[in-house]
């Protein structure tokens, strides 16, 4: 029987791999590239590393064809362009179902229907032009989460509506990669797609230590962690207009928090909750909507 305690690191997704060697151990493969707009790596030591890595690559590529806003032919892009998607992929249905639960638990703070608002900020802010209040109001009037229709036969949006799953898809992909590796019989793996999913603990014992960007550390074992920051990604050169928008106003989140870290049984849930937490007005509010989900908790909320 092979020793299947392994370490995997993924920043997002990747393309191609190059063999490396480590004395006295199975070959180590480094697989690097980019996906979901981010650089990516996988490191895996295993006699079947190449074949397993290729299967991981194929799964991430397949999921990107579901969720990506960068691929014109992804399922999400087809939905956004047509306003309807017949026979949607089950992964899209599963992710949107979870998004709906988080939307309800957070009082609407987590809302993937903000994509039209996101698009206008992404167009205007880099050239120093702020969308007018009238423009934002018109975009909000197109409809929101309550106008989404979701079933196994079709997904439909409000007229001129659009979705972004950037606040949940990276976590969902981490979870799917964890499931794939578990099906291969691997354990003791840390998966990082920008969100973390720990499958077991470290190969040599102990939990996986994950350092937080704003200081501190969270130890993970069979658990996931996500961190979001209102100004983690910005639209403007001055760095004042963050990418997390308030669904009720269409405005970037008021930066009350430098970063919020949420842990949960799944990376998708942690991802969505940490995104919504950036819009929360207090630590008590963050704790309240995290407590709506079994096993979810706020690990850190660092005020500005």
Residue 186 lies in a domain: yes
Residue 211 lies in a domain: yes
Q: What's the pLDDT tens digit per position in 117-144?
A: 999 999 999 999 999 999 999 999 988 9
pLDDT tens string for the chain (304 positions)? Answer: 223 333 444 432 222 333 444 434 555 677 676 555 566 666 776 777 778 878 888 898 899 999 999 899 999 999 999 999 999 999 999 999 999 999 999 999 999 999 999 999 999 999 999 999 999 999 999 889 999 999 999 999 999 999 999 899 989 988 998 899 888 877 778 888 778 888 888 877 889 899 887 889 999 999 999 999 999 888 988 889 999 999 999 999 988 999 999 999 999 999 999 999 999 999 999 999 999 999 999 999 999 9
Distance (Å, rounded) from C-alpha 249 to C-alpha 187? 44
Q: Which domain holds residue 207?
A: 17-69+170-218
Residue 50 lies in a domain: yes
Q: What's the pLDDT tens digit per position in 246-298?
A: 999 999 998 899 999 999 999 999 999 999 999 999 999 999 999 999 999 99
Count of domains for the chain: 1
Residue 39 lies in a domain: yes
Residue 23 lies in a domain: yes
Distance (Å, rounded) from C-alpha 294 to C-alpha 277? 17
State residue 8's pLDDT score. Answer: 42
């Amino acid at each position: 029987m092979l020793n299947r305690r392994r370490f995997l690191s993924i920043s997002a997704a990747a393309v191609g791999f190059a063999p490396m060697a480590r004395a006295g151990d199975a070959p180590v493969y480094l697989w690097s590239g980019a996906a979901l707009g981010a650089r990516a790596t996988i490191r895996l030591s295993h006699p079947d590393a190449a074949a397993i890595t290729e299967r991981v690559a194929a799964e991430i590529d397949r999921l990107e064809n579901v969720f990506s806003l960068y691929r014109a032919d992804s399922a999400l892009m087809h939905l956004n362009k047509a306003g309807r998607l017949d026979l949607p992929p089950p992964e899209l249905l599963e992710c949107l179902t979870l998004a709906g639960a988080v939307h309800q638990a957070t009082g609407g703070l987590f809302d993937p229907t903000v994509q039209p608002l996101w698009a206008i900020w992404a167009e205007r802010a880099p050239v120093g032009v702020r969308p007018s209040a009238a423009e934002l109001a018109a975009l909000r009037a197109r409809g929101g989460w309550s106008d989404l229709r979701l079933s196994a036969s079709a997904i439909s949006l409000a007229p001129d509506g659009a979705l972004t799953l950037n606040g949940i898809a990276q976590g969902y992909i981490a979870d799917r990669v964890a499931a794939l590796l578990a099906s291969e019989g691997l354990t003791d793996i840390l998966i990082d797609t920008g969100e973390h999913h720990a499958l077991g603990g470290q190969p040599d014992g102990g939990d996986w230590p994950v350092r937080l960007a704003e200081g501190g550390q969270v130890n993970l074992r069979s658990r996931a962690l996500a961190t979001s920051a209102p100004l983690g990604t910005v639209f403007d050169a001055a760095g004042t207009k963050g990418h997390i928008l308030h669904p009720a106003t269409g405005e970037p989140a008021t930066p009350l928090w430098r970063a919020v870290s949420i842990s949960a049984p799944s990376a998708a849930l942690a991802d969505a909750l940490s995104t919504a937490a950036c819009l929360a007005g207090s630590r008590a509010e963050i704790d309240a909507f995290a407590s709506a989900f079994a096993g979810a908790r706020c690990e850190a909320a660092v005020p500005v």
